[in-house]
Amino acid sequence: MSLAGLAKSLHLKTVRLRLRPLAEGDTMEMARYLNDREVAEGLTYSPYPYTHDMAVAWLKDVAFASQQDRVLYWAITDGEMEKFMGIVGFSLYREHDKAEMHYWLGRPYWNCGYATEVAKALIPFIFAKVQIQRLEINHFTRNGASRRVIEKCGFVYEGELRAYVKRFGKYEDVKFYSLLKSEVKL
């Protein structure tokens, strides 16, 4: 199955959440949450201010990259009303049998354990369904919340790159982690 097919077919449920394919109807909430400076400051590449047109364009880019087997992304929603809360996904590097995990949540959903819940559900899935050997993730050193999610999921710390990213005019240090397939219970 192609990644585009895999992304469309996954409807994963956790205790409190549901992952489903991204939809055009998500773009208004995407834009609203990503137009929050505090959310944007935690992300490496998302512009700020963020508009609805940017969300629509990003969704089209993701659909194209998914068809090319380069990314997998889903909407994170609450388990009952399926209210859009954020996004989780992977960039794939097939030639190296690896992927990089990405996630973000709107500020109303911070510090509730949702990112950890989603990540723990998806990690075995990505290793089993996409046949990777290595999963990578990183965070700005100042982002303690992401560090805690990453550590709870069992990622192994590999190092820090100083002034690795320039974000909003400031150089950011970034910490890198990984998981190997042999370290994950499938």
Q: Identify the pLDDT of residue 4.
A: 62
**Of 139, 136, 137, nearest to 172 (Cα)?**
139
Q: Dump pLDDT digits (tens) for 146-172.
A: 999 999 999 999 999 999 999 999 999
CA distances in angstroms from 95 to 11, 62, 125, 133, 134, listed in the order given: 27, 20, 20, 11, 12
What is the torsional sign of CA 176, 7, 167, 164? positive
Distance CA 186, CA 180 (A): 12
**Of 156, 155, 153, 147, nearest to 174 (Cα)?**
147
Number of structural domains the chain divides into: 1
Q: What is the CATH number of the domain that holds 121?
A: 3.40.630.30
Q: Dump pLDDT digits (tens) for 21-59.
A: 999 999 999 999 999 999 999 999 999 999 999 999 999
Domain that holds residue 52: 3-183
Q: What is the pTM of this model?
A: 0.93
